[in-house]
């Protein structure tokens, strides 16, 4: 799942609000931000993506194990079926082997059903986990952007990467004079663990916009 979806949606709402308010008083101050870069630059986004990757790999291993059990069971069923059709044994023995083969086939069908259900549940659980993580990241980013905008006296913050109808950019042009991207990333990462800080992206050359 795209971890940036909800956050871009929030910034898009801000952008649309800016266009609707084009007739606002002249003193309205507008800042911009690269929502995608902010999300990707936040250490908790990287942590969340790593956790999802690990969880997905664990689930895939378990699903692979079920597949291997199915393959092995199918080979056993084939052998049981061949034994049941052995003309060298008595009718009663063939009937006994036939019932054993039928029981094996039934267990294989049940295992196949469990594997399919596991696959469906695994996908749903991963999506739910990603949704929860995305919502927490969205809430934190929104709080930092709002605080930064208020302290700098901005009335609106527009995301230059927000997409509108037909996946077209909402903001056609921005000179980045009042871009908050880097200062927001730095604020978000003030509580990053040492390991995350070392592996994080290097700050851009953009400076804190004048208040």
Angle separating helix axes 181-188 and 91-152, nearest 10 degrees = 120
**Whole-angstrom Cα Rg for the chain:** 29
Q: 6-10, 156-160, 190-194: which range is least confident on average?
A: 6-10
Q: Do residues 196 and 45 touch, judged by C-beta distance below 8 A?
A: no
Of all residues in the chain, the percent with pLDDT exceeding 70 is 80
Domain assignment of residue 62, given as a range: 5-199
Q: What is the pLDDT of residue 2?
A: 52
Residue 88: the pLDDT is 86
The encoded tokens of residue 167 equal 């996946």
- Angle of CA points 197, 128, 144, to nearest 5°: 40
- Model confidence at 9, in pLDDT bands (50, 70, 90)? low
pLDDT digit string (tens) for 77-127?
999 999 988 888 888 998 999 999 999 999 999 999 999 999 999 999 999
Evaluate if residue 143 carries a pLDDT over 90.
Answer: yes
Instruction: For residue 73, tell me if it sits in a domain.
Output: yes
Q: Does residue 75 lie in a domain region?
A: yes
Closest Cα to residue 207, out of 184, 183, 174?
Answer: 183
Could you tell me the pLDDT band of residue 129, with boundaries at 50, 70 and 90? Answer: very high
Confidence (pLDDT) at 168:
86
Residue 211 counted as domain residue: no
The answer to whether position 205 is within a domain reads no
Whether the pTM exceeds 0.75: the reply is no
**Over the chain, what is the mean pLDDT?**
83
Query: Is residue 209 in a domain?
Result: no
Residue 129 belongs to a domain: yes
**Structure tokens, 95:** 């009937």
Residue 27: CB partners within 8 Å, gap ≥ 6? none
The β-bridge partners of 159 are: 33
pLDDT in tens, 21-56: 444 445 789 999 999 999 999 999 999 999 999 999
Query: Which one-letter DSSP state was computed for residue 210?
Result: P
Contact 38, 184 (CB under 8 A): yes
The pLDDT of residue 181: 94
Q: Is 210 within the bounds of a domain?
A: no
User: What is the number of domains present in the chain?
Assistant: 1
Residue 19 lies inside a defined structural domain of this protein: yes
């Amino acid at each position: 799942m795209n971890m940036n979806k909800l956050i871009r949606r929030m910034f898009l709402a801000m952008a649309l609000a800016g266009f609707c308010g084009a007739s606002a008083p002249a003193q309205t101050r507008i800042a911009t931000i690269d929502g995608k870069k902010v999300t990707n630059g936040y250490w908790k986004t990287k942590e969340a993506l790593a956790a999802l990757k690990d969880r997905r790999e664990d689930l895939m291993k378990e699903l692979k194990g079920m597949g291997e059990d199915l393959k092995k069971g199918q080979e056993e069923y084939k052998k049981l079926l061949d034994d049941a059709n052995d003309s060298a044994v008595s009718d009663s023995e063939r009937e006994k082997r036939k019932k054993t083969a039928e029981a094996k086939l039934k267990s294989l069908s049940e295992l196949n059903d469990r594997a399919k259900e596991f696959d469906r549940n695994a996908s749903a659980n991963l999506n739910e986990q990603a949704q929860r993580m995305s919502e927490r990241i969205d809430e934190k980013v929104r709080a930092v952007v709002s605080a930064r905008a208020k302290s700098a006296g901005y009335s609106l913050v527009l995301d230059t990467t927000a997409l509108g109808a037909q996946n077209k950019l909402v903001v056609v042009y921005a000179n980045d004079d009042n871009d908050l991207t880097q200062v927001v990333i730095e604020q978000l990462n003030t509580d990053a663990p040492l390991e995350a800080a070392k592996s994080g992206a290097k700050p851009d050359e953009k400076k804190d916009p004048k208040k």
